[in-house]
Amino acid sequence: MDFTFTPKQEAFRQEIRTFLRERLPDGGPGWNGENEFEFARTFLQKLAPKRWIAPVWPEEYGGLGLGLWEQVVFNEEMSYRGAPVTNLSAVGYLGPTIMMYGTEEQKRQHLPGITSGEVFWCQGYSEPEAGSDLASLQTRAVADGDDFIISGQKIWTSQAHYSDWIFLLARTDPDAPKHKGISYFLLDMKSPGITVRPLINMGNQAGFNEVFFDNVRVPRSGLLGELNRGWYMATATLDMERSSVAGSSGSRRSLEELTAFVRETKVNGRRLQDLPLVRNKLAELWIELNISKFLSYRVVTLQERGLMPNHEASIVKVFNSEYGQRLSRAGLHMLGLYGQLHPESPYARLRGRFERWYLISAAITIAAGTSEIQRNIIATRGLGLPRN
Task: Show the domain range for 48.
Answer: 7-86
Which of 77, 241, 288, 355 is labelled catalytic? 241
Residue 65 forms part of a structural domain: yes
CATH number of the structural domain spanning residue 161: 2.40.110.10
Q: Which letter, b or e, does each residue of 303-340 get, where b requires 16 or more Cβ atoms within 10 Å of its Cβ?
A: beeeeebbbbbbbbbbbbbbbbeebbebbbebbeeebe
End position of a domain, from candidates 41, 65, 86: 86
Report the C-alpha gap between 51 and 47 in whole angstroms: 6
pLDDT in tens, 271-300: 898 999 999 999 999 999 999 999 999 988
Q: Is the pLDDT of residue 242 over 50?
A: no
Q: Give the domain-ending residue among 227, 256, 287.
A: 227
> Which pLDDT belongs to residue 154?
97
Considering the domain architecture, whether residues 196 and 271 belong to the same structural domain is answered as: no
288 and 209 in a common domain: no
100 in any annotated domain: no
Shared-domain flag, residues 223 and 267: no
Residue 15 resides in a domain: yes
Q: Is residue 155 part of a domain?
A: yes
pLDDT tens figures, 185-213: 999 999 999 999 998 877 677 778 999 99
pTM of the model: 0.84
**pLDDT average, residue stretch 319-331:** 93
**Domain identity same for 359 and 326:** yes
Number of structural domains (the chain) is: 3
Same-domain check for residues 72 and 142: no
* Residue 241 annotated among the catalytic residues of the structure: yes
Residues 378 and 265 reside in one and the same domain: yes
pLDDT, greater one: 313 or 16: 16
Q: In angstroms, rounded to a whole number, what is the distance separating the alpha carbons of residues 124 and 118?
A: 20
pLDDT tens-digit map of 71-120: 899 999 998 988 887 788 899 889 999 999 999 999 999 999 999 999 99
Could you tell me the CATH number of the domain that includes residue 13?
Answer: 1.10.540.10
Segment holding 183, helix H or strand E: strand 182-188
Greatest Cα pair distance in the chain: 78
Q: pLDDT by residue (tens digit) across 38-62?
A: 888 889 989 999 999 999 899 999 9
Residue 28 in this model has a pLDDT that exceeds 90:
no
Residue 340 has pLDDT above 90, yes or no: no
Is 234 inside a domain boundary? no
